[in-house]
Amino acid sequence: MVVGAAIVAGGRVLACARSAPPEVAGRWEFPGGKVEPGESETAALVRECAEELAVRVEIGDRVGRDVRMAHGRSVLRVYAARLVGGDQPQALEHAALRWLSADELDTVEWLPADVPIVAALRPLLGAPRSPGPGD
Ligand SMILES: Nc1nc2c([nH]c(=O)n2[C@H]2C[C@H](O)[C@@H](COP(=O)(O)OP(=O)(O)OP(=O)(O)O)O2)c(=O)[nH]1
Protein backbone atom coordinates (compact mmCIF):
# COMPACT_ATOMS: atom_id res chain seq x y z
CA MET A 1 0.00 0.00 0.00
CA VAL A 2 1.27 3.44 -0.99
CA VAL A 3 -0.34 6.39 0.78
CA GLY A 4 -0.31 10.02 -0.31
CA ALA A 5 -1.26 13.23 1.48
CA ALA A 6 -3.31 15.86 -0.33
CA ILE A 7 -2.21 18.77 1.85
CA VAL A 8 -4.77 21.54 1.42
CA ALA A 9 -4.34 25.13 2.59
CA GLY A 10 -6.23 28.22 1.50
CA GLY A 11 -8.03 26.39 -1.31
CA ARG A 12 -4.81 25.02 -2.79
CA VAL A 13 -3.21 21.59 -2.72
CA LEU A 14 0.50 20.88 -2.50
CA ALA A 15 1.82 19.09 -5.57
CA CYS A 16 5.33 17.63 -5.53
CA ALA A 17 7.56 16.83 -8.51
CA ARG A 18 9.48 13.57 -8.18
CA SER A 19 13.24 13.78 -8.50
CA ALA A 20 13.73 10.01 -9.01
CA PRO A 21 13.77 7.40 -10.45
CA PRO A 22 14.45 8.66 -13.99
CA GLU A 23 11.28 7.04 -15.46
CA VAL A 24 9.06 9.23 -13.30
CA ALA A 25 11.33 12.19 -12.50
CA GLY A 26 9.48 15.42 -13.16
CA ARG A 27 6.03 13.82 -12.82
CA TRP A 28 3.88 15.23 -10.02
CA GLU A 29 2.52 13.36 -7.02
CA PHE A 30 1.29 13.71 -3.47
CA PRO A 31 3.91 13.41 -0.75
CA GLY A 32 3.87 9.94 0.79
CA GLY A 33 5.22 6.48 0.22
CA LYS A 34 4.98 2.86 1.22
CA VAL A 35 3.31 1.92 4.48
CA GLU A 36 5.83 -0.06 6.54
CA PRO A 37 4.92 -3.36 8.23
CA GLY A 38 3.02 -2.70 11.46
CA GLU A 39 2.57 0.98 10.65
CA SER A 40 -0.84 2.63 10.29
CA GLU A 41 -1.60 4.57 7.12
CA THR A 42 -1.89 7.77 9.14
CA ALA A 43 1.47 7.16 10.82
CA ALA A 44 3.07 6.50 7.43
CA LEU A 45 1.77 9.81 6.10
CA VAL A 46 2.93 11.74 9.15
CA ARG A 47 6.38 10.10 8.82
CA GLU A 48 6.68 10.69 5.07
CA CYS A 49 5.59 14.33 5.29
CA ALA A 50 8.21 14.94 8.00
CA GLU A 51 10.92 13.18 5.96
CA GLU A 52 10.09 14.69 2.58
CA LEU A 53 8.83 18.15 3.50
CA ALA A 54 9.86 18.82 7.13
CA VAL A 55 6.27 19.58 8.11
CA ARG A 56 3.80 18.23 10.61
CA VAL A 57 0.40 17.25 9.22
CA GLU A 58 -2.97 16.23 10.53
CA ILE A 59 -4.62 13.55 8.38
CA GLY A 60 -8.29 13.84 7.41
CA ASP A 61 -10.69 11.98 5.13
CA ARG A 62 -9.92 9.81 2.14
CA VAL A 63 -9.85 11.53 -1.26
CA GLY A 64 -11.04 9.54 -4.25
CA ARG A 65 -10.80 5.79 -4.61
CA ASP A 66 -7.99 3.27 -4.31
CA VAL A 67 -6.05 3.21 -7.56
CA ARG A 68 -4.12 0.16 -8.70
CA MET A 69 -0.72 1.22 -9.93
CA ALA A 70 0.86 0.23 -13.22
CA HIS A 71 3.02 -2.56 -11.88
CA GLY A 72 -0.15 -4.13 -10.41
CA ARG A 73 1.31 -5.11 -7.08
CA SER A 74 0.39 -2.03 -5.12
CA VAL A 75 -2.45 0.36 -4.52
CA LEU A 76 -2.40 4.15 -4.09
CA ARG A 77 -4.67 5.60 -1.40
CA VAL A 78 -4.80 9.35 -0.75
CA TYR A 79 -5.98 11.23 2.32
CA ALA A 80 -6.69 14.92 2.76
CA ALA A 81 -4.29 16.59 5.17
CA ARG A 82 -3.57 19.97 6.66
CA LEU A 83 -0.42 21.58 7.99
CA VAL A 84 -0.06 22.01 11.72
CA GLY A 85 2.69 23.84 13.56
CA GLY A 86 3.31 26.66 11.10
CA ASP A 87 6.24 25.21 9.14
CA GLN A 88 6.34 25.71 5.37
CA PRO A 89 7.02 22.60 3.23
CA GLN A 90 10.58 22.24 1.96
CA ALA A 91 11.53 20.15 -1.06
CA LEU A 92 13.96 17.87 0.80
CA GLU A 93 13.44 14.98 -1.63
CA HIS A 94 11.37 16.46 -4.47
CA ALA A 95 12.55 18.45 -7.47
CA ALA A 96 9.89 21.15 -6.91
CA LEU A 97 6.80 21.97 -4.90
CA ARG A 98 3.77 23.90 -6.10
CA TRP A 99 0.51 25.00 -4.44
CA LEU A 100 -2.28 24.50 -7.00
CA SER A 101 -5.79 25.92 -6.95
CA ALA A 102 -8.72 24.01 -8.48
CA ASP A 103 -8.21 25.62 -11.88
CA GLU A 104 -4.47 24.96 -11.83
CA LEU A 105 -4.68 21.20 -11.14
CA ASP A 106 -4.20 20.33 -14.80
CA THR A 107 -1.12 22.53 -15.23
CA VAL A 108 1.23 19.78 -14.03
CA GLU A 109 1.78 16.27 -15.34
CA TRP A 110 0.58 13.98 -12.55
CA LEU A 111 1.69 10.36 -12.21
CA PRO A 112 -0.97 8.30 -14.02
CA ALA A 113 -2.38 6.73 -10.82
CA ASP A 114 -2.99 10.20 -9.39
CA VAL A 115 -5.23 11.42 -12.21
CA PRO A 116 -8.57 10.04 -10.88
CA ILE A 117 -7.68 11.19 -7.38
CA VAL A 118 -6.92 14.70 -8.58
CA ALA A 119 -10.35 14.76 -10.22
CA ALA A 120 -11.98 13.79 -6.91
CA LEU A 121 -9.94 16.45 -5.11
CA ARG A 122 -11.12 19.31 -7.30
CA PRO A 123 -14.46 19.92 -5.47
CA LEU A 124 -12.64 20.04 -2.14
CA LEU A 125 -10.63 23.03 -3.33
CA GLY A 126 -13.68 25.14 -4.05
CA ALA A 127 -15.28 26.16 -7.31
CA PRO A 128 -12.91 26.98 -10.16
CA ARG A 129 -12.75 30.55 -11.37
CA SER A 130 -15.82 31.18 -13.53
CA PRO A 131 -15.17 32.32 -17.08
CA GLY A 132 -15.28 36.07 -17.48
CA PRO A 133 -15.78 38.46 -20.41
CA GLY A 134 -12.05 38.42 -21.18
CA ASP A 135 -11.85 34.64 -21.61
N1 LIG B 1 4.36 9.04 -2.77
C2 LIG B 1 3.62 8.82 -3.85
N3 LIG B 1 3.90 7.78 -4.67
C4 LIG B 1 3.13 7.63 -5.74
C5 LIG B 1 2.06 8.51 -6.05
N6 LIG B 1 1.47 8.11 -7.21
C7 LIG B 1 2.14 7.01 -7.62
O8 LIG B 1 1.93 6.36 -8.65
N9 LIG B 1 3.15 6.71 -6.72
C10 LIG B 1 4.07 5.57 -6.87
C11 LIG B 1 5.50 5.98 -7.15
C12 LIG B 1 6.29 4.86 -6.53
O13 LIG B 1 6.34 3.77 -7.41
C14 LIG B 1 5.43 4.46 -5.34
C15 LIG B 1 5.86 5.14 -4.05
O16 LIG B 1 7.14 4.83 -3.82
P17 LIG B 1 8.13 5.82 -3.05
O18 LIG B 1 9.48 5.55 -3.58
O19 LIG B 1 7.65 7.23 -3.06
O20 LIG B 1 7.91 5.27 -1.59
P21 LIG B 1 8.91 5.25 -0.37
O22 LIG B 1 9.28 6.66 -0.04
O23 LIG B 1 8.28 4.43 0.69
O24 LIG B 1 10.16 4.54 -1.06
P25 LIG B 1 11.31 3.57 -0.64
O26 LIG B 1 11.32 3.50 0.84
O27 LIG B 1 10.97 2.28 -1.33
O28 LIG B 1 12.50 4.24 -1.27
O29 LIG B 1 4.11 4.85 -5.66
C30 LIG B 1 1.80 9.61 -5.19
O31 LIG B 1 0.90 10.44 -5.39
N32 LIG B 1 2.60 9.73 -4.10
CA of 107 to the centre of ligand 1 (A): 21
Angle at 81 between CA 107 and CA 92, to 5 degrees: 70
How many domains in the chain? 1
Tell which phi-psi region holds residue 64, choosing left (phi > 0), alpha (psi between -120 and 50) or beta. left
Residue 131 placed within a domain? no
Q: What is the CATH number of the domain that holds 44?
A: 3.90.79.10
Residue 135 placed within a domain? no
What pLDDT, on a 0 to 100 scale, did the predictor assign at position 86?
Answer: 93
CA of 93 to the centre of ligand 1 (A): 12
Q: Is 79 in the pocket of ligand 1 (CB under 6 A)?
A: no
Residue 130 placed within a domain? no
Give the pTM.
0.93
Residue 114 placed within a domain? yes
Residue 16 placed within a domain? yes
Q: Is 63 in the pocket of ligand 1 (CB under 6 A)?
A: no
Residue 109 placed within a domain? yes
Tell me the pLDDT band of 128, cut-offs 50, 70 and 90: low
Residue 75 placed within a domain? yes
Range of the domain at 90: 2-125
Asked whether the predicted pLDDT for residue 79 surpasses 90, the reply is: yes
